[in-house]
Amino acid sequence: MKFEIKNVIRAAICGFFVAVTFSLSSFFGSCEKITEEVLRLHVIANSDSKEDQAIKLKVRDSVLSESEKWYKNAEDFNEANSQICTHLQSIEKAANKALAAEGSTDRATVQITQMHFDTRNYEGFSLPAGEYRTLKIIIGEGEGTNWWCIVFPALCVPMSEKEDSDLFVGISENERDIIMNPSEYQIKFKLVEWYESIKRGFKE
């Protein structure tokens, strides 16, 4: 009888770990999918002076506005990324126009790159840690505090006239839930961050 009870307990424990592993595996997969469907924005100010930090936000707004003009009809990440890559020169021109309008003599450089981000909380949503395609803007010497957000989907474009349901083009309902309800996934986000740090360690 004791042997049977031990087997039942072992089976229950095994079942619990299998369920947890499956749940985490599914969550990790969804987070990895998010990294493949989101185009991040990374703006680096010339310096940490009050003036340069204020100008950084002007450049940010100009870049977001110009970018949206090109990808606004995109049906998924790949199309949006293609449009952004095709119009990098136009986006850089918009960034430099914003600098000139503020009386700055700095110049902005624009590029598409691959960057690692830790879990980051924004106003009303969060993104899990991982490697993201990124639109990177460096202003002047690029020695100031960074500013991060998202180019696509247009979650950081307040002037967007799209309905909330239209902001998540190409993103599944499950992935949208992870992005928009981060308080429900805080522990899992930490596990993803730990997992990503291990992956990066093996690559180095």
Tracing tokens 């961050």 back to the chain, one arrives at 193
pLDDT band at 11 (very low <50, low <70, confident <90, very high): very low
Q: Residue 4: what pLDDT?
A: 56
Contact 52, 46 (CB under 8 A): yes
In a domain, 145, yes or no: yes
pLDDT recorded at residue 141: 95
State which amino acid sits at residue 83: Q
Task: Say if 15 falls within a structural domain.
Answer: no
Backbone angles phi, psi at 133, to 5 degrees: -65, 135
pTM: 0.77
In a domain, 101, yes or no: yes
The neighbour count for residue 116, using CB atoms within 10 Å, is 15
Choice among 121-125, 162-166, 185-189 with the minimum mean pLDDT: 162-166
Is 6 within the bounds of a domain? no
Amino acid letter for position 72: K
The boundaries of the domain holding residue 184 are 32-203
The C-alpha atoms of residue 164 and residue 134 are separated, in whole angstroms, by: 23
Tally of domains in the chain: 1
Whether residue 41 contacts residue 61, with contact meaning beta carbons closer than 8 Å, is answered with no
Residues constituting the chain: 204
pLDDT over 60 at 165, yes or no: no
Instruction: Please indicate, yes or no, if residue 3 is contained in any of the structural domains.
Output: no
